[in-house]
């Protein structure tokens, strides 16, 4: 009875998560990130990149944008004709801009991003458990096969095939699931791992990391009872994300270390001013302050001063 309950439960959660990953539409930027008709016409008429950037800066001055391109330009999508929110990227396969895009997955024929990233993680986890369950239950027959204790029937080849398939899928999915668990702990997407987001103080691959606990809550939500169920509980709106403390460049660091006394890393400091819809993010409303981890001795040894990222001055 227990065997059947575990089997059907794991299979049901596997199918449910897979279904939600496939059929959840990728979330796209809201209308506030689209250029107005007048700005769009003016942008298309301009031939000089500098003039086009000036139009984008004017349109983005009230938007909650922290990141730019590597060349310090406004991130703009010519295909969708909109200013890209932070962590948003254009998917060539879906031909849309996807919020917090991680990658386009051919196995689910869908983009994995803000709207279905939790479902994708649960799909990997339940696939892993399902493969482990199958391999464990077939293991005893697999051992009998090698010791020639299994009856000489055609079924023994099915047992051999089933065990190897389950074991190979388990190993491959385990590596992928472990990688994405690491990404969740660091609050990065696959794209951000290969190309760090650029803030006003430069590229920072940990720019959106708030600590492992808050990073986990950002994907799975505040209520732990819903974490293992494939229903949407991720925090935020997908367009804005809280940012972390980042290290300034060496020239700014030298000036600040001369003008400011050393501060203990245990002292709590406020988040940057919340832009626009970021106030809807429960990671910020639950507590408006967070403490940078680490000891005072480590900061003194490294000689690093940390400063908050502020919205880009357009």
Residue 241 CA, chain-centre distance (Å), reads 11
Cα(207)–Cα(304) distance, rounded to whole angstroms?
A: 16
246 touches 307 (CB < 8 A): yes
Contact 60, 110 (CB under 8 A): no
Structure tokens at 210: 């708030």
Write the DSSP symbol of residue 153: S
CA distances from 74 to 53, 65, 102, 248, 313 (A): 7, 9, 21, 21, 11
Exposed, middle or buried: residue 154 (CB in 10 Å: 0-12, 13-18, 19+)? exposed
On the 0-12 / 13-18 / 19+ scale of CB atoms within 10 A, 211 is middle
Q: What CA–CA distance (Å, rounded) separates 134 from 162?
A: 8
**Are 102 and 190 contacting, i.e. CB atoms less than 8 angstroms apart?**
yes
CB-based contacts of 201, cutoff 8 Å, min separation 6: 246, 247, 248, 249, 252, 307, 309
The helix (run of H) or strand (run of E) holding residue 39 is helix 37-45
Q: Identify whether the C-beta of residue 278 lies closer than 8 Å to the C-beta of residue 63.
A: no
Give me the active site residues, please.
105
Q: What is the DSSP letter of 33?
A: G
* DSSP 8-state symbol, 112: E
d(CA 115, CA 101): 9
């Amino acid at each position: 009875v227990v065997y059947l309950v575990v089997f059907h439960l794991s299979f049901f959660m596997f199918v449910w998560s897979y279904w939600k990953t496939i059929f959840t539409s990728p979330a796209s930027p809201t209308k506030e990130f689209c250029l107005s008709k007048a700005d769009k016409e003016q942008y298309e008429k301009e031939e000089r990149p500098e003039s086009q950037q000036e139009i984008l800066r004017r349109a983005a001055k009230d938007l909650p944008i922290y990141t730019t391109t590597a060349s310090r330009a406004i991130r703009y999508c010519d295909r969708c004709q909109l200013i890209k929110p932070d962590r948003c990227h254009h998917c060539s396969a879906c031909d849309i801009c996807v919020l917090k895009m991680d990658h386009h997955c051919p196995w689910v024929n869908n983009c994995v991003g803000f709207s279905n990233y939790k479902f994708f993680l649960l799909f990997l986890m339940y696939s892993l458990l399902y493969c482990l369950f199958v391999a464990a239950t077939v293991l005893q027959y697999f051992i009998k096969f090698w010791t020639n204790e299994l009856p000489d029937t055609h079924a023994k080849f099915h047992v051999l095939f089933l065990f190897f398939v389950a074991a190979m899928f388990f190993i491959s999915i385990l590596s992928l699931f472990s990688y994405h668990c690491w990404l969740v702990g660091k609050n990065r997407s696959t794209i951000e791992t290969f190309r760090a987001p650029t803030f006003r103080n430069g590229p920072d691959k940990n720019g959106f990391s708030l600590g492992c606990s808050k990073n986990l809550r950002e994907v799975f939500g505040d209520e732990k009872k819903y974490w293992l169920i494939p229903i949407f509980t991720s925090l935020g709106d997908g367009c804005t994300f809280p940012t972390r403390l980042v290290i300034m460049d060496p020239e700014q660091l030298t000036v600040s270390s001369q003008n400011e006394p050393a501060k203990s890393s245990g002292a709590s400091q406020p988040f940057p001013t919340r832009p626009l819809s970021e106030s809807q993010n429960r990671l910020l409303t639950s507590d408006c302050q967070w403490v940078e981890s680490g000891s005072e001795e480590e900061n003194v040894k490294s000689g690093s001063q940390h400063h908050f990222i502020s919205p880009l001055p357009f």
